[in-house]
Structure 1
């Protein structure tokens, strides 16, 4: 989301990606790039133990890493990086995006402008967020924020979106499509924190109602 919308989306400290290569190949290529570096930055990859959440198939569990970044040979920061697999071709045809205000963060301190980077196609991102926010016991009130931003910021093809949602929900076989979103414990607070300063609905009650209407719009576009 941050790569798409920059400072106009919620703050996050981690970075998620999906791989199209085998894990060993992805890791090898990533480590080579970190060693080669860019504009004085370099780094190393530290693999962490994957979680084992109850009732979540192993294929859906993200592999966590820490990316230890240096600048001119001195320790600079650590980025939490989580890697998933190419579940339903969601990494096969990426969009290339990089928000202007993120580019300016580099150029304003004298670094060269970074190039757009591959991001998950919007229909896959919407489908995954709808699945996550509608899961039993979900704590992902933040996805209500992201869904509003994707709807307002992208020219969504609702026919394609419906097909992708149906495919994902059928593949995961956890809850039926179309889902009904219901507010969970602590969602009031979680939503307000995620929505702070953003152009989205102010309360979780309104956001849940909006999201259920969004689901109905998608479902109605199914062929």
Structure 2
């Protein structure tokens, strides 16, 4: 009887041990102290950044004015991205959040991309913006947002923002990661280093290799 109870308790303990980590991997790890300002010059490699000594922490580690400045939209896509992640704001280290500013010229687009480490919430500050994402089943969810309206993009799904108005648009994007990462779909395929063989892309996209060569030669990140 005692052995049966012991085995049952062991099984229950194992199940709890397996299930408990799942909530913790949905975002960056929770901090273990008030803050851990990133030491961006540290040589130690960890998941995140080591903490600065408290004696070297200043108020500037918690301040960033970059999102108040308009991004440069003079590029083929017509968008400017200003990141507000841990690399710009060291005080975000271990806090599991960050924010980007996206400026869109008329007809400008933040092209299809994904964030492997974060879900995203966007709010339009200026203009009218079409926001959409694709599920793993190729279902397309989209909405034209006006000023003050919000849209959610689940973690690691391909998405975009497109200015459908006649004036500049501004979007703020929040993430549940200090460094969400950004994977530009077209860049991954056509501007990789070293290049993906043309025959692979030709078969994957069901087009002639000459089409792939043309896209690669014209593609500009």
Structure 2 length-normalised TM: 0.27
Structure 1 length-normalised TM: 0.27
Larger C-alpha radius of gyration, 1 or 2? 2
Higher helix share: 1
Higher strand share: 2
